[in-house]
Structure 1
Amino acid sequence: MTGHRDQWFGGRTYAQHGDDLAVLNIFKRLGIERPSYLDVGAYHPFDLSNTALLYERGSRGINVEPNEAQHALFLKARPDDINLCVGVAPVHGWMTFHHVAADPGRFTFDKATAMTLGIVRSVELPVMRINRIVDQHAGGIWPDLLSIDIEGLDVDVLNSAEFEDHPPRVVIVEADNGSGDTSHELAALMAVKGFVPHSWCGSNMIFVRAADQALIW
């Protein structure tokens, strides 16, 4: 079975919890047919991807993945995107990237998270502030969707993000990676930045601009 002709967004989901379908529904309510995106901790061009379905439907954006082997997959499978092999952190510079005894999607710059999974090896990699990525690769204008899944540093990176000018319309972030639930902290942080919780998709929280609430509900 490949899906029904009347399914608005097709019969396929690439995301872990159907997050891509939920996000596309929000953007349909906002009147945005091909939302741009910034996928931080992108992991894989299709497997467990929040943005693969958007790409398949004509959207384009920026994928950030510090693992060289995973980054190479993006260069091959999603050449029309901007694909960056760099880490994202609250500060610009270098950090230790931990390869762990788990799926490469769990590799992380957060040592505490890595230690719970078993560190196999560690390497020093360049990291950038998220606003610098937006400035250098999106002309200083946030893409419509910010998807972030970086195994333990999600709150710190979002806290460092400056949304004053042209913020994203939708933010999806991992709130529970198995090392602890950060949903209350995320909700408080995003409220200060002008966002409200829209819904949960599995372990991920979806936030929308407070100013867009009336357009979605």
Structure 2
Amino acid sequence: MNITHRDQWFGGRTYAQHGDDLAVLNIFKRLGIEKPSYLDVGAYHPFDLSNTALLYERGSRGINVEPNKALFDAFSKARPGDTNVHAGVAPVCGRMTFYHVNADPGRFTFDVAIASTLGFTRAEEVDVHTLNNIVDVAGTGIWPDLLNIDIEGLDIDVLRAADFGENPPRVVIVEADNGSGDTSHELDALMHAKGFTLHSWAGSNMIFVRVADSDRIW
């Protein structure tokens, strides 16, 4: 049952695993951004465990990147207003081996160590692009307001390779522990070097905001 009180700013629904979408909407409200754009990397599903589905329902639009063909097709049908990219994201452009873990579809990965631990059922070669390439080709060349990244093992390498330039995302959500170990300290140091500060945690996800915006949020 979805019960929404008239005084709930963002309604009574969340699609995210940890309520990340409500936390993000609150941050953007503080920043005066009503319909934040987004880049959802390793988007997985249009609604299930999605950090961007609620934003889409509220009028936001963005880019979803998903290498699993079956899941990608679901985005094309359910979220046609978005730009949907069937590909993976990596530190460099090219092709990589993508491992399918049918016992846990949310854990499909390019990381062979994680795949071996989980027990993958098949592997295939897929196209991969850098974050900057996705922004340049699928977007407008300008970073969206929100970068959400969940790619089971390559998160730090992909973020390290990203050049945010003079207009980086306003908010970045990244998973700090995907079952292969806690990377929160390394992520915190990396994002600090890129001009971000940790705003909060949502479950295993770290939510970062620009240092330049932090005085408008707290």
Q: Is TM-score (shorter-chain normalized) higher than 0.5? A: yes
In structure 1, the residue matched to 2:36 is 35
Task: State the percentage of identical aligned residues.
Answer: 76
Q: Can you list the C-alpha shifts for 1:166-194, whole angstroms capped at 9, x where unaligned?
A: 10000000001111110000000001100
TM alignment of 1:65-144, pairs within 5 A: 65-144=66-145
1-side partners of 2:30 and 2:47: how far apart? 25
- Structure 1 residue 59 and structure 2 residue 55: aligned? no
Runs of at least 4 residues off by over 4 Å? none
Query: Quick one: which amino acid aligns to residue 80 of structure 2?
Result: P
What is the identity, as a one-letter code, of the residue corresponding to 1:170? V
CA distance in 2, matches of 1:72, 1:92: 22
Q: Secondary structure at the match of 1:54?
A: helix
Separation (CA, whole Å) in 1 of partners of 2:14 and 2:157: 29
1:206 is displaced (CA, Å) by 0.2
Q: Whole-Å Cα distance in 2 between the matches of residues 134 and 215 of structure 1? A: 26
Query: What SS does structure 2 have at the residue aligned with 1:39?
Result: strand
The question of whether the paired residues in 2 share the 8 Å contact of 1:94 and 1:126 is answered with yes
How far 1:102 moved relative to its partner? Answer: 2.4
5+ residue gaps in structure 1?
A: none
Look up the SS of the partner of 1:109 in the other structure: coil
Query: What do the CA deviations read for 1:121-177 (whole angstroms, capped 9, x no partner)?
Result: 100001001100001122210000000000011101000110113100000000011
Q: Which amino acid aligns with 2:152?
A: E
Q: CA RMSD in A?
A: 0.7
SS in 1 for 2:121: strand
CA distance in 2, matches of 1:165, 1:67: 32
Quick check: 1:20–1:54 contact (8 Å CA) kept in 2?
Answer: yes
State how far apart, in whole Å, the 1-side matches of 2:197 and 2:36 are: 19
* Aligned residues of 1:101 and 1:117 also touching (Cα < 8 A): no
Match of 2:24 in 1: 23
Residue matched to 2:208: 207
C-alpha deviations, 1:97-126, integer Å up to 9, x for none? 001142211100111111110011100001
Distance 1:116 1:105 in 2: 15
Question: What is the TM-score with the length of structure 2 in the denominator?
Answer: 0.98
The CA distance in 1 between the partners of 2:117 and 2:19, in whole Å, is 27
Alignment size in residue pairs: 217
3-state secondary structure, aligned to 1:206: strand
Partner AA of 1:152 in structure 2: G
Give ranges in structure 2 of 5+ residues lacking alignment: none
The answer to whether the Cα contact below 8 Å between 1:141 and 1:165 also exists between their aligned partners in 2 is no
- Residue number in structure 2 paired with 1:178: 179
